[in-house]
Structures are given as C-alpha cells and as structure tokens.
Amino acid sequence: MYALAQLNLLYNYLSSKKKRETCDTFDFSNAEEIPYVTIQLPVYNEMYVMERLLDNIALLEYPKDKLEIQVLDDSTDETLVTTKAHVDQLASTGLDITHITRTDRSGFKAGALKEGLKIAKGDFIAIFDADFLPQPNWLKRTIPYFKNEKIGVVQTRWGHINRNYSLLTKIQAFALDAHFTLEQVGRNSKGHFINFNGTAGVWRKTCIIDAGNWEGDTLTEDLDLSYRAQLKNWEFKYLEDVETPAELPVVISAARSQQFRWNKGGAENFRKMMWRVIKSENISVKTKIHGLLHLLNSTMFLSIFTVAILSIPMLYIKNEYEHLRDYFYVMSFFVMSTLIFFVCYWFMYKSIYGSGFKKFFGYVGMFFTFFSIAMGFSLHNSIAVIEGHIGKRSEFVRTPKFNISTIKDSWKGNKYLRKNVSPHVIIEGILVVYFGFGLYSAFVVGDQGGDFGLFPFHLMLFIGFGYVFFKSLTSKI
C-alpha cells in the first residue's frame, strides 16, 4: 500500500511540473506593507556550529525594524556563556537579537519554541535548527506567500553541504531528497497533508495558536503541529525551488539517534492522530489514506525486519514441503513494491543529478546501497517504532552537530558523541552472522543444487547489517 501511494505521489509530482506558479510579493520599499518576522533558533549544547549559525542568520536581508531573532538556548555547557557574548556583539550592531534561556528543558524543543512564542513580536515565525544556513534572500523568497491568508506554513527544501563526505552522508541525502521532492511536492500539489520539517520553514503565528500551540508529548513536535493545523483547514505551501543548506550527520551514532527520534515520533503521531484524521469531515478519503500512510511510514521498518527474520526459515520450509511452493510464488508478487520504489526514486535522482546512461548506472548502485543500509537500520528503527506505538516515553536526544571539515575523521574529538556501545549493536552483529548463514543456505537447500531466489535479499541484509555493525563499533574508537 505504501509503495502504491508512492507511485501516486510520483504521478502528482510529474503533473505538478507542468504547472507554473506565481505569488504576490510585498513591496519591500513600503515599510507599512512589510510584515514583522521573528526568527527562532532552538539550540542545545551546539559548541561546533553556534558561531556559524549566528553569523549566517545576521546576513539575512530583511528590514531590521521588522525583524526579531530569538536564540532559544537550553544549553547546559560552556556554550551558554559564549553564545550570550556572541548575541550581545550582534545586538551592538543594531540587530534585534535576544538570548533566551530556561531553568528547565520541559517539552524539549517544543517547550523552547512555545516559551519564545509568548514574547515573539512577529506575525510570522521562521525556525532554523543549529546546522542550517539559509541564503541571504531566504525571507524575501518565503514571506510573500503569506499574502494568501489561508496559508499557515511555508516549508523549504533541505540542501546538504556535506552530501559527498562519505557513504553514510550520501545515503542520508538520497533518502531525504526523495522526501523533499516526490513526497512533499506529490502531497502538497494535490492538497494532501504534508509536514513542517522542524526547520527551514515559516509559520503564521495565528496558525500555531489556532492549532493548539507546540506540544512536547511526541518526539516529532513538528509533525504533530502540522497535522493539527491542517485538520483546522490551514493550508501549507512547499517550495521545492528554495533550498536551505544543512549538515548531515557524519558519524553513524549521530545518524542512529536522529533515525530513532524520527521513527519513534512518527509512530507516536500515528497513535495520537489516527482517529482525528479518520473522523475528520474536512478532508477527502484520498487525503485520509495518504495521511495515514504518511504517519505509518516509519512502521515499514518493522515490516522489513519481520520479513527479513522469517526469510531464512521460509527458505527451508519452501524446499521441505513441496505442496507449499505455489504460495511462495504468489508471495513473490510483493517484490513489485521494490520495483515501484526503484522507478519513483529514479525520477528524484534524475531531477538532482541529471539523466543519461552513466547517471542511471550510478543510480542503480546508489539505490541498492541505500536499500541495503536501510535494511541494516531495520532492527534499530523497529525498536523505535514499537516504543512509539505502545506509548513508551523517552527523552528527546538531539543530533550532535559537527561543522565538519573535508578532513576525514575530524569528527573524533566531538565532545557530544556517546562513547558507549548500544546493546542493539551486539544484536546487529549476531544478525550479520544470521544472514551470512542465509547466504550459505542458498547453496545447500533443495534437491537440485540450491535455491537462490532469496540470495539477493540475504546479500543486501548481510551487507546492510554488516555496515551498520562495523561502523557503530569503529565510531567508538
């Protein structure tokens, strides 16, 4: 079902390319017409990127008398002092920038945003995480869309300043690019629900209030508020052509914490929003289906992991019981879902890298590398999904930032990296051996020299879990 929904989103995406959209703009020479904007920068212990963030935000082109910057600082280390000094220095240049701290981190990021909103001067609230670097004209390209009074959010596409740093960053970029092209455009172009991505977007302040304000009861407060706002009939506008560069995690432990938060938060929001979406009288059946599958997308990892674990016993059962073989041939129909993803992701890849035989050959390698490593994350992400669905609460673990240079392994001195090895990593090591046994089994089962039908699947699982296991160990050294 999810694959078929992706195919529909591909159709929507390609259809949207035939349309040309324009929007009214504000007269930036007329002070009375320019709306007041508040920029919120929620940060927590960001030693390596704080200076870069503040200096970049100070370069945004917008009338200073209509711009406020809130540094929502929940830090508990020495950056609390250095950030305040930097904020004071920028304030001395005439910039309206304030350093806002709290006595506790209740609600985590959602709590910080909600606290800042109480005193925000702006009618529109732009939000950037610590590793994002908007272009100077960013506000002038996004704020004009709010001339449409129905629009509550304008979201921009994430870029990747370190896309080619390593294989890990390449596959993360690959996955995010699929979301920020096919999914966001495919849903938004037909009026289906999309999500504010937590950063690189702007909210209408009245939309936030009307939707019930920020809530910290899930790990993805952005997805939560997005659905509550759209259920209240607010429209979202996604801008694929406005790219906001950011830094991808370069260490697998950082990627794991980010994946855990996103996948658990998705499951938590399905639990929270399912009945609200189903019972809503304001949206079509098709929008409801897309919305439910959107909220369930992280649960795919649980399906992948279940199929992976059962695939080796299935290989033996298939060859032991002749009368069951026909059932296995019927089940092979579901390989179609992988082919659908392959087609859909090619259009995403082509829009970014271009077409041609050489590009397609590179795409094939990247697609199967991405799929293999995604499978390698399936245990870790399945645990996150299960915790989300059963309602187990956990702390918001933010992704450590690096301000990484091009020098390999320059991340090793990062003070925010966790040094302990998760028990999950040990199980992933056992699974490497398990799927290695699956590869061996292909040669020994059956009466006619083996059964290699599942060999490609087990090879991808072996490579994926092997990559995740060994990278997780080496990142602790």
User: What contacts 454, CB < 8 A, 6 or more positions away?
Assistant: 311, 314, 315, 438, 442
Q: What φ, ψ does residue 68 adopt, rounded to 5°? A: -125, 140
Pairwise CA distance, residues 123 & 466, whole Å: 50
55 counts as catalytic? no
Q: Is 27 an active-site residue?
A: no
Quickly count: other Cβ atoms within 10 Å of residue 332's Cβ. Answer: 11
Report the alpha-carbon angle 105-106-111, nearest 5: 90
129, 222, 224, 451: which one is catalytic? 222
Q: Which of 74, 129, 131, 224 is catalytic?
A: 74
Asked if 219 contacts 266 with a C-beta cutoff of 8 angstroms, the reply is no
Strand order in the sheet with 201-204: 97-101, 67-73, 37-43, 124-127, 201-204, 151-160, 235-246
How far apart are the C-alpha atoms of 94 and 292, rounded to whole Å? 47
Radius of gyration of the chain (CA): 24
The residues carrying an active-site annotation are 74, 222
